[in-house]
Copies of this chain bind each other. A is one copy, B any other.
Amino acid sequence: MHTIALPRQTIKFSYDIREGENLLNILVDQQIFIESPCGGRGSCGKCKIKHLGGDLTPLSADEKERLTPKEIADGIRLACLSYPTGDLEIDIVDQEENHQVLTGGYVPEYEPNPAIRKETIEIIKPTLEDQTPYELLLATALGVNQLPWDVLRQITMGEGTYTGVFNQDQLIGIEKGDTRERLYGVAVDIGTTTVVAALIDLRTGAEIDSEAAINAQKNYGQDVLTRITYVLEHGKEGRNQLQTAIVDSLNEMLNTMCERQQISPSLIYEIAIAANCTMMHMVLGVDPLSIGKAPYAPIFVGAKDVKARDVGLTALSSFGRVYCLPAVSSYIGADIVAGAYVAGLHNRKDKVLFIDIGTNGEIVLSDGEKLVSCSCAAGPALEGMNISCGMRAADGAIEEVRFDNEQGFALKVIGNIAPLGLCGSGIMAAIRELLKHEFITARGNIVKSEELEAGDPRLPYLDLDGKKRRIRIGEGPHKILITQGDVRQVQLAKSAILSGFVALVKAMDLSFSDLDEVIVAGQFGAHLSIESLVGTDILPQAVRDKITYIGNSSKTGAYLALMSLETRREMIKLARDFSYLELSVTKGYERLFAECSQFKV
């Protein structure tokens, strides 16, 4: 066990040296993202890091080709071509030179132009001869016609310096004194399971702090449909409960960051939110029922700009705003629009497939002209739910599995303790190994021990529970087993995603070989190795070398919306340009789904 340190980012983490695992992979695994448009194949030369000290393989010939002599002298290396060999200390270069870096994702370049801005004015006291009302004095100085009522309420008499806070052209607040130096926003990604927020200094774009939390709506159901059903059964009261749950979570996260950074919440003026369509309805308190019922028309998909207090968000300025990014449809939410934007789909001319793997898998395919999307109800199996030994990615969760005829199963367990269960990436790795070593057939059946020859290395791991076949892959406080039922759950999930992938490629009259890049997005996606993705046939073998990772592009999209009005307009346009393929009414989809349930590896 060795460590890698990034002193400038105050990051330090442990890792195991593994044959063939380059520095880029190790960093991505830790959700530390470096621009690497080529997907780590050593061709783009962008994943530059600075080697500050410690053990790294020597400079390779390929690196020499792609780095300038000055860079080489400065200790610059390419992360995808460097292999750590012990403790290591590095810095990420591009971050320093070109990019605003947000934890957990690649950030494209943008022109800073936040919706929220401040302007300072001077007010001279009225006189008996000139009793001009304060509203008029302030409005004139700030160049607006009148002050909205909630700004009027903030005013008291008095001369001196004032700062007007604007949301685009709208004056939303007035503060005493010159407060221009204090201007914060928050970028939020609301996932069905996890909520991530980043506190941003709107003057510089710098991420001041970030915070992640479990979506408190989980008490009302683990997936969106269960939560929608809760609203169906509990009416307006239920809708309020779900809104309060998520809004309270957000308030708590904002307060936590503000306390940690010693920043008053009143200096936060905007929260930009990317989320799936259901979460967006719920955070705004809009009726989500139609999302859960055919024909699945949501109440809204457009971008929304709402007063934060109106929806119960209180841990920010009393006149702060909430900006909700635009969505496409009930199952192609603002998180996907944000991701497609961050992936550059709005101006790329090559053929790119963007996929966000989670409880729902959303896929967007661009052929350089058109954008088509679909949504696949994968279910939570890939995230370790509905799996007999499934658990969330916490201490004791198996996150990687290897099988070897001599050694049997080798497990990588979070926290290096005895294994308690399998998290999502662990399930995927297990199924991958079981397929590779033929514990499971292409049809997903666990092999029968009576059909194996004596001495078969698989025999010790095959297990029966009555008539139900199981594979024992580890032993902790109790056995870690993969059941036939678990295999079926994964099979359904992978079939849902793969069939969506195939249907979309077909719908655009393309083949796998036409694709230039397959971009895997999402926090969960970032934990799925290429090996697992193609090794379980979730993504076809044919695109193995085209897979790249983009991190939490939903949060990054929210960040861009916060920092740049131009990106907002482009995302709105992008959302309109999407067409949506409803798989359930696509001809031949049922057969395709059945075909895709086979493991073709």
Chain A interface residues (CB < 8 Å from chain B) = 125-136, 146-147, 149-150, 152-153, 155-157, 284-287, 289-290, 293-302, 304, 306, 310-311, 329-330, 580, 582, 584-585
A372 vs chain B, min Cβ distance (A): 15
Contact status of A290 and B134, CB under 8 A, knowing A128-B296, A295-B128, A299-B157: yes
Contact status of A146 and B295, CB under 8 A, knowing A128-B582, A157-B287: no
Q: Are A133 and B300 in contact (CB under 8 A)?
A: yes
Q: Are B300 and A126 in contact (CB under 8 A)?
A: no
Q: Are A156 and B584 in contact (CB under 8 A)?
A: no
**Cα-based distance from A306 to B290 in the complex (angstroms):** 32
Contacts of A157 in B (CB 8 A): 287, 289-290, 293, 297, 299
Q: Are B584 and A133 in contact (CB under 8 A)?
A: no
Pairs of residues from A and B, 9 with the lowest C-beta to C-beta distance, nearest first: A157-B290, A126-B297, A135-B300, A131-B297, A149-B306, A128-B295, A156-B287, A134-B299, A133-B301
Q: Are A133 and B297 in contact (CB under 8 A)?
A: yes
Contacts of A132 in B (CB 8 A): 297
Q: Which of A147, A149, A298, A330 has the most chain B CB atoms closer than 10 A to its own CB?
A: A149
Contacts of A286 in B (CB 8 A): 152-153, 155
**Cα-based distance from A155 to B306 in the complex (angstroms):** 17
**Cα-based distance from A155 to B299 in the complex (angstroms):** 7
**Cα-based distance from A289 to B284 in the complex (angstroms):** 37
**Cα-based distance from A131 to B329 in the complex (angstroms):** 7
Q: Which residue of B lies closest to A289 (CB)?
A: B157
Contacts of A302 in B (CB 8 A): 133, 135-136, 146
A260 vs chain B, min Cβ distance (A): 29
**Cα-based distance from A300 to B125 in the complex (angstroms):** 15
5 further interface pairs, Cβ-Cβ under 8 Å (given A131-B582, A153-B286, A156-B299): A128-B294, A131-B297, A131-B580, A133-B300, A134-B300
Q: Which residue of B lies closest to A298 (CB)?
A: B133
Contacts of A155 in B (CB 8 A): 286-287, 299
**Cα-based distance from A582 to B128 in the complex (angstroms):** 7
**Cα-based distance from A299 to B134 in the complex (angstroms):** 5
Q: Are A284 and B153 in contact (CB under 8 A)?
A: yes
Contacts of A285 in B (CB 8 A): 153
Contact status of A152 and B295, CB under 8 A, knowing A129-B585, A135-B300, A585-B129: no
Q: What are 10 A-B contacts with C-beta separation under 8 Å?
A: A128-B584, A131-B296, A133-B302, A133-B329, A149-B284, A149-B304, A152-B286, A152-B299, A152-B300, A156-B290
